Structure 1
């Protein structure tokens, strides 16, 4: 009897399973799985031809097909006006005035870009209009990153289609609760972490600044399931938009507790009138995922950046001396050459001449009110020219770099007097200045030509220049163009940034041997769209080491240390050791008046330079970052870089306030190998308070390093070496 009941139950379950499978097959025409490392995107073409998302996250998670069509809220790229009632990803008005869009699946193809990179292109079309959207998903398998963007085009008769919304991506996440980490902060307080739990409704993080639009927050974020993001545990997503212009990051939790994440160009004031046959391309957004906390997502971004996203990742970033804090715009050849001598004496590899080297007569660049736009070398300050300075630097076996701000103009300049219509401003409005300057309209072909000439005519006649600091010191407050037609004024901030990328690309290709730092009044332009043309960026004009600890901590969540310029200065009047120790954890440099430093200070700087070049640069530039103790939770900040082969590591400890963290647990070491530890960069005559020990990697990670620091401004640098 029991056997008969068992057989009956098996038959019932089999029948139900078959019915469920048949029901699922009746609603799913096709399933598309896209996998990058441990991140999987699962899409389904429904029987209604719409493209639905079934999953986004853990690649090991099995996705079951639904037995009924999903709700419209699960469309992968929800369009506006025909049934979708949540935030839309695509909104357009067609040439006949219809404000609705419907997107149906047409087909898809997979392409092998390289052994490590695969790209999937999914084609969608409005069944009632010749309106097309292609979704691109590029997968970087070794890094576990997905890069997603769209292209939009149309072949509708009767004029232009108006695009109002055009998200780069809009994946759905599913959990019981969500925590968002953003990186905000005004000038001199950049990359500040702020965490919150997302409630039902929509949360928008955006920028409307147009140019150097990252001033108050960067277009990067972290999402964690069920609790605030932790360093080494929990499900975490990290994403970063490749766009230097106005952006919008929208997080909508619906009534079913689904989280829709829409990222892309800010649609406010940016409707785009798309010509028949033309293609509109959205900037790409990068996504990665971890089941082991946000530390792993950071390392994934860093590995990807080194392989695909930054210039000359394997090339050493030079130890440079910048003259800005020493001289501002007040210098001459004799003073600069004196600084060259100081740079050579402490072992620096490059001298970077900052603002103030150009402009003549009444427009001499003696302050920030004059000369911007007039890029002729100052005959008063530098009568022998830039090549003379480069040769003098070369004689001292150091490189020579220059500061440029090609996008800007002072009203008190020859250029402005000749071409007042070249600036970005609104008609019938009094121009608003920012830092005594205006922005040149890069949508103009003649401005594009002019800005290339600024770069080309500075570098080509002076081949001794081996480094450029590209600055941008204001954002857009009056987005109007005297060049664009009246109906295309809303194109300005979009077309400007695409033109800017073309200019940056031309610079990088035209001068492949010239290294470059990206700057924008601090970190106003820190995005992977821009960084692909540069070697490093300037995180903040705030170089107080106490502030820089958190600033560099924040940026390190997405950007590798090789890109984060970290300079020793006198800002904050801190202990020189703290300033050096903080700068040693990034792309090391110095920005102070060496000719006014004491012999003891110069010796201390020289030792820091030597230590960086001989011991630390390789680790910092190419090692794996592990954040050990957060300054947001403790009076101590601790981080380390571990060599990829695990044979060595460096640990940085910074006491941000009075208080005690008794031990620091290391991470990323080989558990069964043995490591020695010693403190380095000690002031002359000082005795280390750290015990030089030999332990296994497991012991260092489980028992930790005994930490004697407890007073604000104390710091230490520790070196670990594998000894067997």
Structure 2
């Protein structure tokens, strides 16, 4: 008997010793380390986040820093509410007995090598008093220097619990000072960049719009460590949330001047009721640390997106001609047939039919009716979409079409038949945004309906080549007839319902290119872009404004994900300037070609051919932002292919001042020992280059240290220079 008691005691001692034994967990890329460590209390703390140390054993010297912190100041990896956490928590829950405290302790972790570049680390934390567990996930992409973090929350309590905080990530930074760059705006003036210092207290960037969540502020940010974020120097943290809904970033500087960064779904009106056995999965927070400024950080994110996140990220993109600026809602088959011929003349891949093709009882003659009734308007298109697909094929181009399947007009047959499918208050006056309401995608029946909109189009038209998926209204009149007593789940379950629909579409039509549109840049996130090949940056297609908009989006997205169209906006700008701006991204036209002068038509046709020849340099190359439109009356951007054999330099004179001192533009990303022939391309018919460096050869060293005189004193001038290695 004594021997048995001794064995039990020995087992207890062994278990206890394992429990309190310190665990150090390294989450690493080729350049960055995030180091976590358990303390004597069994909880998990962040030990380090920064440039990777050459000698990994030296991280052991940091443990003294962890022990020296008072409990309330400790950098807990996933801090919870109700304990000694003095600052904003990552997690908060109310248990079945009303208790609002949880203490999460380390249980175990696993490290899985997905391939030679990708590693996944999963850390299990549990509460010892309540049956609640949290898994912390970290996926690292070594070459791209990207870390993706998210959590899974679950419980086995008798009844549902309410979680009111559920961050995807909590990071701690330690520096002398911090500067935050945010991206804000509104319809037609998206991603305006502004930078401000972060001082003691909290700064919150969030969205409460539901569907069109990025309308006022974008779900990405940059933090400069020690100085304002610079393009080519200094340490920056660049982060974004992969979530097509309400988001929140909290930046909190504490009394010791440490910065906490909490990222995740906005818990506003979303105290989520979670059933036992169900898993609440947060969206991924994606971040990179760059010690060479935002330029390198952007290249990290762009390369990662092409390789791992963006739908068909390594594949080509379709050029197109859209009808909207030419016809609006006023079109018929002959008009569209003629535009398809124009598309063929331009040399683009596809003709895209925009809004206005559907509805019979309530024909879509304006934005006041018809949404939800996805039947072709017989008076406009008596032979239906199949005839359009066939006409496009006969013209020698592909055919794409616009849809807005998440929305409904009050004047529609769908609303008359299924008012219970709509998010709206049952007992209050309705508010309409763009004369429409939002379908309740938390409802599986509505999910089936939205999927069937696409499935019916594709089944009847297997050669349909492209979908432009629009979403023009935020969630208003917030109430779900389906969720009943779980209204606080709506904002989150809506997005999850959308993803379920998109998962089904992607599974059945994996090769279907789709544009993510939301009244312009109302949806610009990597959660959506796992299903979409590209996004519509803005309804503002003024090329001057687009230079700023594209500069902002390029901080986080590759050029092939950003759609830019040549339109009639800003008549002061030449067709060449407008086209040169759009050619930096995924090129399209939304312009009445017949209204252009013959030489302008010829230029557009030649520009499409030039674009097709060089677009892979943009799509797959490394981007270098050289001159910012925020800091100059000019701007310049270049792309260099991975082999450093070819490059494209885009330069724009916006509104230079009289007698302005024009400085050479120093290039980047070239091989210093190689020599490059410089040639101006995309010229107007009958003109020749007037730039002094045209058709001359320079070393990469010269081009990066001395530069080229590419700017002029003229307003709205543009140049595209192609560089090709000659050795």
TM range (shorter): over 0.9
| 1:269 alignment partner in structure 2 | 269
What residue in structure 2 maps to residue 17 of structure 1?
Answer: none
Contact 1:310/1:535 (<8 A) preserved: yes
- Does residue 514 (structure 1) correspond to residue 512 (structure 2)? The answer is yes
Distance 1:398 1:315 in 2: 19
Classify 1:552/1:708 alpha carbon distance in 2 versus 1 (closer, same or farther; 3 Å).
Answer: closer
Match of 1:683 in 2: 684
Deviation at 1:27, TM superposition (A): 9.0
What is the aligned counterpart of 2:24 among 28, 31, 35? 31
For residues 572-614 of structure 1, give each alpha carbon's deviation from its aligned partner in whole angstroms, at most 9, with x where no partner exists: 2121111010011000110011233222221111111111012
Deviation for aligned residue 1:688:
2.2
3-state SS, counterpart of residue 211 of structure 1: coil
Query: 1:357 & 1:496 partners in 2: Cα distance?
Result: 27
**1:207-606 equivalence runs, <5 A:** 207-361=207-361, 363-486=362-485, 488-573=486-571, 574-606=573-605
Q: Deviations over 1:181-201 (max 9, x none)?
A: 111111111111111111110
Does the Cα contact within 8 Å between 2:20 and 2:42 map onto a contact in 1? no
Q: Give 1:427 shift.
A: 2.9
Alignment check: 8 A CA contact 2:42 2:106 kept: yes
What 5-or-longer segments of structure 2 have no aligned partner?
Answer: 1-17
Shift of 1:29: 1.3
> Who is 1:608 aligned against?
607
Report deviation, 1:525: 0.9
* Helix, strand or coil at the partner of 2:62: coil
How far residue 155 of structure 1 moved from its aligned partner, in angstroms, is: 1.3
The structure 2 residue matched to 1:43, chosen from 32, 36, 41, is 36
Give the whole-Å Cα distance in 2 for the aligned partners of 1:675 and 1:26.
Answer: 62
Aligned partners of 1:47 and 1:393: how far apart in 2? 70
Q: Which residue of 2 aligns with 1:723?
A: 726
Distance 2:343 2:633 in 1: 35
**Paired residue secondary structure (1:195):** strand
After TM superposition, the runs of 4+ consecutive aligned structure 1 residues lying more than 4 A away are 25-28
Q: Aligned equivalents of 2:524 and 2:502: distance in 1?
A: 14
1:65 aligns with 2:89: no
Separation of aligned partners in 1, 2:160 and 2:345: 64
Cα distance between partner residues in 2 of 1:485 and 1:343? 50
CA contact (8 A) 1:372 1:409 kept: yes
2:698 corresponds, among 692, 695, 715, to 695
Instruction: Tell me how many residue pairs correspond in the alignment.
Output: 696
Question: Residue deviations 1:665-716, cap 9 Å, x none?
Answer: 0000000000011211122233323122211101000001113412321111
Give the 3-state SS of the residue equivalent to 2:548 in structure 1.
Answer: helix
TM-score under structure 1 length normalisation:
0.94
When structure 1 is superposed on structure 2, of 593-602 and 546-555 the one drifting more is: 593-602
Residue 663 of structure 1 aligns to a residue whose secondary structure is coil
The Cα shift of 1:120 comes to 0.5
Any idea what the Cα deviations from partners look like across 1:382-425, whole Å, max 9, x if unmatched? 11111111111112221000001110000011111111121111
Contact 2:535–2:561 (8 Å) recurs in 1: yes
Deviations 1:428-447 (A, max 9, x none): 21111110000000111211
Distance 2:194 2:312 in 1: 32
Deviation, 1:126, is: 1.2
CA apart distance, 1:153: 0.7
Q: Is the 8 A contact 1:252 1:261 kept in 2?
A: yes
Does the 8 Å contact 2:443/2:497 carry over to 1?
Answer: no
CA distance in 2, matches of 1:160, 1:104: 22
The answer on whether the counterparts of 1:51 and 1:105 sit within 8 Å (CA) in structure 2 is: yes
**Mapped contact 1:149–1:283 kept (Cα < 8 A):** yes
Query: What is the CA distance between 1:501 and its match in structure 2?
Result: 1.0
Indicate yes or no: 2:137 matched with 1:136. Answer: yes
Q: 1:28·1:44 contact (CA, 8 Å) conserved in 2?
A: no
CA–CA distance in structure 2, aligned partners of residues 268 and 200 of structure 1: 23
CA-CA distance at 1:26 after TM superposition: 13
Corresponding residue of 1:6: none
CA contact (8 A) 1:46 1:69 kept: no
| Counterpart-to-counterpart distance in 2, 1:344 and 1:707 | 34
Distance 1:557 1:27 in 2: 43
Conserved in 2, the CA contact under 8 Å of 1:179 and 1:224? yes
| 8 Å CA contact 2:559, 2:618 repeated in 1 | yes
Report if the CA contact (8 A) 2:163-2:271 is conserved: yes
Q: CA deviation at 1:170?
A: 0.6
| Native 8 Å contact 2:242 2:528 kept in 1 | yes
- Whether the 8 Å contact between 1:27 and 1:69 is mirrored in structure 2 is no
Paired position in structure 2 for 1:665:
666
Q: 2:634 touches 2:711 (CA, 8 Å); kept in 1?
A: no
1:54 matches 2:54: no
Gaps of 5+ in 1: 1-24
Q: Which whole-Å CA distance do the structure 2 matches of 1:31 and 1:319 have between them?
A: 50
Q: What SS class does the counterpart of residue 248 from structure 1 fall into?
A: strand
Structure 1 residue matching 2:365: 3-state secondary structure: coil
Deviates more, 1:263-272 or 1:504-513: 504-513
Contact 1:178–1:225 under 8 Å retained in 2: yes
Q: Distance in 1 between matches of 2:375 and 2:437?
A: 19
> 1:69 deviation in Å?
5.0
Q: CA RMSD in A?
A: 1.4
Instruction: State whether residues 448 and 501 of structure 2, in contact with CA within 8 Å, keep that contact through their aligned partners in structure 1.
Output: no
Measure, in 2, the Cα distance between the counterparts of 1:684 and 1:604. 6
Asked if structure 1 preserves the Cα contact closer than 8 Å seen for 2:295 and 2:625, the reply is yes
- Contact kept in structure 1, 2:447 and 2:500, CA below 8 Å: no
C-alpha contact (below 8 Å) 2:442/2:496 kept by paired residues = no
How far the C-alpha of 1:140 sits from its partner, in A, is: 1.1
Partner residue in 2 for 1:21: none
2:332, 2:380 within 8 Å by CA — same for their partners in 1? yes
